[in-house]
Amino acid sequence: MMFILASNNAHKHAEIGAILADMGVELVPQREAGCGFEVDETGETFEENAYLKAIAVTRATGLPAIADDSGLEVDALGGEPGVYSARYTGSHADSDADRCRYLLEKLGGAEQRSARFVSCICCTFPNGDVLCAKGVCEGAILRAPRGENGFGYDPIFLPEGYDRSMAELPPEEKNRISHRGRALAIFKKELRNYHAHK
């Protein structure tokens, strides 16, 4: 099964590809499928943005597309950065470290540090069918970055029940408990069901 990943993010490609590998899914980054465009993420929810990205790639290629829209919600910041997680500092050009530093500065010495990672996976098919799945990983924001693995806000996120940051976990363990891992586990069931009834 070939699916186009509605993203050129190498980290997402590796993570999603690894989780879907046992289903015989070949995941091709959108640029390799001839989609050189970036989709404007104008949705107000992760679900809306995932759909916008997937459907744009399906329309451009005539192939099924998988998109992930995900981010961090921090309770003490009113749910920020939310859908703006990748551009929280106002620029896509800033690094993950810049975004982590900016968030920690905004949070300051707040005692209330509960947060969650949210991921929405959306798959669109050329016939108009759509599959969606959502995963959540609860946790808290650390006071300083820890760990070298992962990407995004992983170094400052402590998953619930763990004493290691998301960036200190080996990839297999992270994929098992992460928001994206949970969303993809649900998506895999949806995809199996979808193909079983075709």
Q: Which residues are catalytic?
A: 69
- Cis amide linkage into residue 64, ω under 30° from 0: no
Tokens matching residue 180: 């994206």
Whole-angstrom Cα Rg for the chain: 17
Please tell me the distance from the alpha carbon of residue 22 to that of residue 25, in angstroms, as a whole number. Answer: 7
DSSP H or E run through 69? strand 65-74
- What angle is formed at CA 107 by the lines to CA 101 and CA 109, rounded to 5 degrees? 105
Q: Any idea how long the chain is? A: 198
